[in-house]
Structure 1
């Protein structure tokens, strides 16, 4: 029998609340499920029912995503803010160290708070955002991020309701890997219905993600590091690490560099060199949203990793 959703959670924070969904018994070992760029907790709805029942799965919405509160105006949505939010949620699960099942933020959290993470599953992602052009780009990237946020704020563009189909097509344009069915599922949690005139009186959708955030690119929010810093940071990891790479997934956060697979090879070889037997790399057929589009492709290897005391998944 598949594990079922048991509760909808809210954690109070100074700017409002962090929303989450939970599966399984609260007495079981916790698994924090951390969604990716512009997604929400619904990302894990198709995967978690396929995972072992003897864990407590908590899928949270980062600030400004899903049902979580937006930040105050003028406060940017930076990657490190999300790491801080994971720390708030993880603090409530400290009878045992949680497992992080992550499409992005979990790697940074595991490096900064290594004693708080027992195992880390990276779903088609790197533990840190690697800058492929090294030091020359780092300050330029930070400057552009700040300038972009200020430009978005100055434009004062109001949130607008659009038809469900327009919302879906816009979402799919920015998330080509997600697929129509999974796109609709993410928008269920990522939009609000509003009665407006769209060609004729009808219900429209307003994105719950802050309108200014929607115009950001990953490089405006992620904290990029050089290769030297990458190796230095991962030396802090105490967790067992499983990196699942989708063969047709993303290879670079900067999408224009996505054809260059060498950075991901550097990531995996560095993790193997530093972590040795604590690191496992597995390739699966599919794209970046493999955990939504074809969850059965990754459920087995994740289940084995979770249940194995050594943290090493059984061969596929």
Structure 2
């Protein structure tokens, strides 16, 4: 696929969603979904190595160049509903998904809920959401209320140079990545502020979820998937840090799994071409 992408905008009922597009319009229709606090540039290194697909990679609401949702508007199912609205705008009754991390979780929810719409999914280091059981719901909701009240007093960091923002993103805690990879995400994720630069990201995305699915709920979505799924797990990524989650994934016989050395954003690193080879084979079977 060509290295260059072009920009599109979708004017949805509640907000505008931005996207990057790769490939010819007659290719296999694929919607790309990035991870939490990332944006459509997450596929900048992977997409040029893919072939035969028409990839529309979204900035999910609250991220990148897309608009922000109303208060408490960032549940997984609300994000999934936005993806479906984009598919409707494109006239795609059947489509495949390409998701990383949170985007992979949203893909699983869509594929399990609408098997007649989703023809297949390629997922990167993500599948099951963080869960909590019913008895934990009041405590989880209290965390959300406390954080919501405190949000008004918080201010986004302002960097006096783009280079400092890139450095901050590269060091990003449990999901650290190379400066080259961070620069791709930062370019789409910054805006001018008081003579410097700050994040476009909606601060509400930092709030804890008011309600989480139970482990039974989460598994039910994955078990309901009828289309093929190709899952790449990063050996040094997020999911392998939770052996109980990986063990649960092994029980889903309808998911083809590939384990590759690399961190959580390995598709933005040197492993991009290796992952593209795996996904190319998968997408070719769907076409």
Category of TM-score, reference length = shorter chain:
0.7 to 0.9
Provide the secondary structure at the position in 1 that maps to 2:250: helix
Structure 1 residue 162, shift from structure 2 partner? 3.8
Number of the residue aligned with 2:273: 296
How far, CA to CA, are the matches of 1:84 and 1:146 in structure 2? 24
Does the Cα contact within 8 Å between 2:97 and 2:122 map onto a contact in 1? yes
Residue 87 of structure 1 corresponds to which residue in structure 2?
A: 84
Which runs of no fewer than 5 residues in structure 2 stay unpaired?
A: none
Counterpart Cα distance in 1 of 2:157 and 2:236: 34
> Are the aligned partners of 2:144 and 2:210 in contact in 1 as well (CA < 8 Å)?
no
* Partner deviation per Cα, 1:34-86 (whole Å, 9 max, x = no partner): 0001000000011010011x2101000011111101224x3443322211111
Match of 1:125 in 2: 126
- 8 Å Cα contact 2:39-2:58 kept in structure 1: yes
Q: Does 1:115 align with 2:84?
A: no
Larger Rg: 1
- Equivalent residue, structure 2, for 1:166: 164
| Alpha-carbon contact 1:79-1:223 (below 8 Å) kept | no
Closer/same/farther in 2, CA of residues 92 and 76 from structure 1, 3 Å limit: closer
For 1:24-43, list aligned pairs within 5 A: 24-43=23-42
Please say if 1:248 is aligned against 2:229.
no
Tell me how far 1:287 sits from its aligned partner: 0.9
Give the Å deviation of 1:115. 1.6
Equivalent residues of 2:229, 2:256 under 8 A apart:
yes
The answer to whether the Cα contact below 8 Å between 1:179 and 1:293 also exists between their aligned partners in 2 is: yes
User: 1:187-236: per-residue Cα shift (whole Å, max 9, x none)?
Assistant: 1000023462xxxxxxx2121112443xx26xx14863333223322232
* Cα contact 1:290–1:297 (8 A) shared by 2: no
Verify the 8 A CA contact 1:79 1:222 in the aligned structure 2.
no
Q: Which runs of 5+ in 1 are unaligned?
A: 197-203, 252-257, 312-316
Q: Distance in 2 between matches of 1:292 and 1:158?
A: 25
Could you tell me whether the CA contact under 8 Å between 1:190 and 1:207 is conserved in 2? yes
Cα distance in 2 for partners of 1:229, 1:90 equals 25
Match of 1:3 in 2: 2
Q: Which residue of 1 aligns with 2:74?
A: 77
CA separation in 1, counterparts of 2:268 and 2:50? 13
Aligned CA RMSD, in angstroms, stands at 2.4
Q: What is the CA distance between 1:140 and its match in structure 2? A: 2.5
| Alignment: residue pair count | 281
Q: Shift of residue 139 of structure 1?
A: 4.2
| Matching of residues 220-231 of structure 1 within 5 Å | 220-221=208-209, 224-231=212-219
1:56 lines up with 2:54 in the alignment: yes
Q: Is the 8 A contact 1:15 1:70 kept in 2?
A: no
